[in-house]
Amino acid sequence: MDRVKIIEVKQSVFANNDQRADQLRQELKQQGIFLLNLMSAPGSGKTTTLKRTVELLRDELKIGVMEADIDSDVDAKAMAEAGVKAIQLHTGGMCHLDADMTRQGLDVLAKEAKVELAILENVGNLVCPAEFDTGAVKNAAILSVPEGDDKPLKYPLMFQVCDVVLINKIDVAPYFDFDLEKCREYIRMRNPNARVIPICAKTGEGVELWAAWLREQVSAWRS
């Protein structure tokens, strides 16, 4: 196994993040690269979900993963072990990535491999990452059953900016007071257009649906 590359991304000096994110998106469009920004609270299952996603899509798409983390390289190692090109972005304590930090990662990823689907696993945090457009084509959030069905009420912006919400760990639903219909309703209140897909990344349940959604988005973007 190759050693995982660790990039210390520098905090952006640019104030106009929205503009720079739009510019990055335009460049990605020209290059035929689809960038997905995956966000969630700590421990919701981003890495496990990504491993499943890569298993389902790697035969049809060239995938590269950027694992953002404050300090560790636990996730990039896990992804590299799953056989996908993965780099680690160290934010040096920063709680989110902006468009320019994402670009720094994409530049390194591009040198390592030709990529059609780039996935950014953002810092585990339901607050700050939602405030910064990374330049991604689509935003996905994971909410896991043990966190509770009321999270869309408490972290409104995250659910507003998402194109799709994966409800993960549905295998343990019997052990928690989690009302899926109520949760769907709260998400709809924040964002009537967000697709909601219940999954269990551990067993693979529902992940086919999510992969199909992603496949469709990538195909539309690259056509």
Closer by beta carbon to its own copies, 171 or else 179: 171
* 65 to 84: interface string for its own copies, x by CB under 8 A: ----xxxx-x----------
DSSP string, 54-86: HHHHTTTS-EEEEEEESS--HHHHHHHHTTSEE
With CB under 8 A as the contact rule, the residue among 1, 15, 93, 111 that binds its own copies is 93
Helix axes 17-31, 99-112, angle to 10 degrees: 30
Q: Does 127 bind its own copies (CB under 8 A)?
A: yes
With CB under 8 A as the contact rule, the residue among 148, 179, 184, 222 that binds its own copies is 148
Amino acid making up residue 160: Q
Q: For residues 15 and 105, give the distance between their C-alpha atoms in angstroms, rounded to a whole number.
A: 19
Nearest to 152, CA basis, from 126, 121, 178: 126
CB-based contacts of 174: which residues, under 8 Å, 6+ apart? none
Closer by beta carbon to its own copies, 113 or else 127: 127
Closer by beta carbon to its own copies, 85 or else 190: 190
Q: Do the beta carbons of residue 151 and residue 179 sit within 8 Å?
A: no
Q: For residues 58 and 91, give the distance between their C-alpha atoms in angstroms, rounded to a whole number.
A: 27
Q: Does 37 bind its own copies (CB under 8 A)?
A: no
Q: Does 18 bind its own copies (CB under 8 A)?
A: no
Q: Does 41 bind its own copies (CB under 8 A)?
A: yes
Closer by beta carbon to its own copies, 32 or else 204: 204
Q: Do the beta carbons of residue 141 and residue 210 sit within 8 Å?
A: no
With CB under 8 A as the contact rule, the residue among 23, 31, 55, 156 that binds its own copies is 156
Nearest to 133, CA basis, from 6, 28, 7: 28
Closer by beta carbon to its own copies, 2 or else 71: 71
Q: Does 182 bind its own copies (CB under 8 A)?
A: no
Residue 29: strand pairing partners? none
Closer by beta carbon to its own copies, 40 or else 217: 40
Task: Pick the piece of the chain touching its own copies (CB under 8 A) from 21-29, 31-39, 50-58, 145-153.
Answer: 145-153
Q: For residues 75 and 71, give the distance between their C-alpha atoms in angstroms, rounded to a whole number.
A: 11
Q: Which residues bind its own copies (CB under 8 A)?
A: 41-43, 69-72, 74, 93, 95, 123-128, 131, 144, 146-148, 150-151, 153-157, 169, 171-172, 175-176
